[in-house]
Amino acid sequence: MGKITFYEEKKFQGRCYNCSSDCADLHTHFSRCNSIRVESGVWVIYERPGYKGFQYILSPGEYADNQQWMAFSDSVKACRAVKNIYGSSWKLRLYERPDFEGQVVDCTDDVPSAYDTHKMREAYSCVVTDGAWVLYDLPNYRGHQYLLERGEYRQHSDWGASSPGIGSFRRITEF
């Protein structure tokens, strides 16, 4: 399991909370989050309790302000560690329609622009057969982030997206 430390103020100042396990509701530990240190593991932090709201996937490192993890606010209300149960191979299959219909794109590597690489702007469903992935709604690994772990996602809302737009995606390789 990994370790993550949340700080209420930027540059690792103010009240802090050390965490080494999944937590569905962090509100009793701090009221806002403006910097984070990930000492080990890959973590998904959520804007709302119960693993809801915007997701941010963080690899080991220091995030001196919430802009560094592309946050839309200082709200962090849940977190969980991404388990390293995936081995060393990655495979993602994206579909242009819900329920695994329409054109299909198979991916085994990072893609900074889904349109430039695959002429794809939307994915309505997908299957992850190997690895863990981060899907972004904008090119160059920007915008809203969605964790995709091994499994089937029949529609884009299954991975937490409000629309099917995709811009880029990458493999999670650091654990």
**Predicted confidence (pLDDT) per residue in 145-170, tens digit:** 999 999 999 999 999 999 999 999 99
Q: Do 64 and 135 belong together in one domain?
A: no
Q: Do 52 and 96 belong together in one domain?
A: no
Does any domain span residue 86? no
Range of the domain at 167: 91-172
Of 37, 54, 81, the residue that ends a domain is 81
This prediction has a pTM of: 0.89
Pick from 120, 127, 119: which is nearest to 98 by CA? 127
Q: Are 10 and 64 in contact (CB under 8 A)?
A: yes
Residue 87 has pLDDT above 80, yes or no: no
Q: What is the pLDDT of residue 84?
A: 66
CB atoms within 10 A of CB 101: 11
Does any domain span residue 51? yes
Q: What is the pLDDT of residue 21?
A: 96
Q: Do 68 and 18 belong together in one domain?
A: yes
Residue 86 has pLDDT above 90, yes or no: no
Query: What mean pLDDT comes out for the span 14-22?
Result: 96
Mean pLDDT of the chain: 94
Total of domains in the chain: 2
Hey, CA dihedral for 135, 140, 141, 144, is it positive or negative? negative
Of 81, 106, 131, the residue that ends a domain is 81
Residue 1 has pLDDT above 90, yes or no: no
